[in-house]
Amino acid sequence: MISIVCLTFLVVLSSARWMPPAGSISLINRPDFDFLNDDYNVSHSRSKRYIGLSKRYKLNRRYQECVAPGEVEGHCKHVIYCPLDVVGISGKAALDYLCIIEKIHVGVCCPDDILLQSLTGAQLIMDLPAGGEEYDDEDAFTGCGLTELARPVGNRASSPAKRWPWLATLYKPSEGNRQFCGGALITDKHILTAAHCFNGLKANDFRVRLGEYDFGRAGETRSRDFSVSLISNHEEFSQGTYDNDISIITLDKSVNFNSYMWPICLPPLNASYEGLTATVAGWGQQYYAGPTSEVLLEVSVPIWEHKRCVDAFAQRISDTSLCAAAHEGGKDSCLGDSGGPLVYQLKNGRWVAIGIVSWGIGCGDRGLPGIYTRVDKYIPWIVKRTIVK
């Protein structure tokens, strides 16, 4: 019997791919579907508007330019996200800070000089988590979803260790620092990952490492380990079906962003990725039932048409899931990559986390893609647990 462990990333050469005997395909990270019958149905109603575009929500971002009292340049922001205590300013002076956001909300002109010491400093932190389409087109060198390749680094050659700076690895100190899941950095204190990673675990049972690349080479990157203060699994996560397989980890201290540790963006709402190519990376098994990798591996995989994915499984595949893998087999995620992000690069150059590695049957088997939690279906839930106060 195979234990349900975390799904990992896989690039399988055809000559090395392990295939289970006919009739004995094992379930990897599979929920127990035996109790389901034809009458089984669960509602998956989700918000249909992206948090960054919906006037229902107050997003932590800069709006139009403005001039605060004292001829101080700034940007209009919702008052709860401005470090300046405008509410505590008495009399007419407070009125001089007021501005209008999108013709609906009353905001305050928040001086830029208290928000940013550099373009990649405090302002970046204040605006997270952020959507990949939330930045102006000319703002190409700061904000989420950018790697060193997109940011000026002088004449230095970019290191492969900096290719995916938002990748987090989760490991257990009590088991020789064994890596068991992945995740994605979305703010200076929050990791987006999968809820099934924490079955039976408490916050002090594991650690989070950012900036890792090769576990076999100590000190080869500026990696940093973090303790966890809170695990926030989705309230409707089902261990039986893996529905709502999403979680937010809160770190015990803030991350100091650098070229090895940088946040990824949240995706646009309701965008279609069918037929497009995304990327998944991790340190999981290199092939089904094989060894894990000490070096970070990555693979590009096509996003399947949802109907084709539904037809490929006897289990119910909901609209809160994405399916991705090489149609011919051999390229997939696998044991150990659970919780890691499925990422896609928008036209503006920013990378967004469109999926979270959740479950699959085998690894890289032809006709059986990996199943990912679809991130855009959970944007309000993510924001509520990161920036909404």
DSSP codes of every residue in 213-246: -BTTSTTSS--EEE-EEEEEE-TT--TTT-TT--
CA distance 127 to 365: 41
Active site residue 196: yes
Active site residue 75: no
Which member of 127, 243, 245, 376 is catalytic? 245
Strand partners, 375: none
Active site residue 26: no
Sign of CA dihedral 314, 315, 320, 325: negative
State the number of CA atoms in the 13 A half-sphere of 143 facing the CB. Answer: 23
Which member of 223, 318, 333, 338 is catalytic? 338
H or E, element range at 324:
strand 321-324
Neighbouring residues of 88: CB distance < 8 A, sequence distance ≥ 6: none
Which member of 196, 223, 365, 376 is catalytic? 196
Query: Locate tokens 């988590």: which residue?
Result: 129
Q: What is the dihedral of CA 127, 132, 135, 136, to 10 degrees?
A: 180
Neighbouring residues of 351: CB distance < 8 A, sequence distance ≥ 6: 132, 145, 146, 147, 166, 264, 265, 343, 344, 345
> Catalytic residue numbers?
196, 245, 338
